Amino acid sequence: MKNCRCILCGATGSYHVFRGAGKDCGSLQCYRCGSIKIECCEERNMNENDLKIIHFNNPVFHDGINCTVRRGYKWADLKIGEEILLNGIKRAIVKKLLICRFNEIKKRDILCEHDPKCRTIDGLLNTLSEVYPNFSNDSVVTIIYFELDKNEY
């Protein structure tokens, strides 16, 4: 259970990450900073249920800004600063969005691609063609730039 969160320093984890008695979040204390301001597990579960989940075939991420390229407009309504879940597990913050046709993507746009094989135009085209039927150079894509939540363990 990785649901409790320290409101002061952002540490997250199960009950064992926090000092205290039993399963009552209100009686816990953060091991990292000593704060007693712990967000309740039930509230945290509700927040996670509201987050949009982006699924990855190759969930490899690096420090700093990552990006992922998705066909169409499905993800175009994300907001800068919005929290998302990667494969339903890792939290990340949306930093930037770019909507264009695939043939308008520049090499600099995908230098921070999360998947190393997608950091070239040809590599990205090959991968997207495998994932999306009938993908072409004219397909509209949304590039989502995100940063992993530094407070996650």
| DSSP 3-state of 49 | helix
Strand-pair partners of 46: none
Inter-residue contact 124 to 105 (CB < 8 Å): yes
CA atoms within 13 A on the CB side of 64: 3
Residues of 101-138 as b/e, b for ≥16 C-beta within 10 angstroms? ebeebeeebbebbbbeebeebeebbebbeeeeeebeee
- Specify which of 7-16, 40-49, 52-61 reaches the highest per-range mean pLDDT: 52-61
Q: How confident is the model at residue 89 (pLDDT cuts 50, 70, 90)?
A: confident
- Residue 107, φ and ψ in degrees, nearest 5: -55, -40
The CATH number given to 51-148 is 3.10.400.10
Distance CA(22)–CA(34), nearest Å, equals: 17
Q: Write the single-letter amino acid at 107.
A: K
Type of residue numbered 150: K
Highest mean pLDDT among 7-11, 22-26, 37-41, 92-96: 92-96
Give the distance, in angstroms, between the CA of residue 141 and the centroid of all CA atoms in the same chain. Answer: 18
Domain extents for the chain? 4-48, 51-148
Average of pLDDT values for 78-94? Answer: 92
Q: What's the pTM value of the predicted model, to 2 decimals?
A: 0.69
Calculate Rg over the CA atoms of the chain.
18
At 117-145, the pLDDT tens digits run 999 999 999 999 999 999 999 999 999 99
Report the pLDDT averaged over residues 44-59: 76
Classify residue 126 by its DSSP letter. H
Strand pairing category for 52-54 and 83-86: parallel
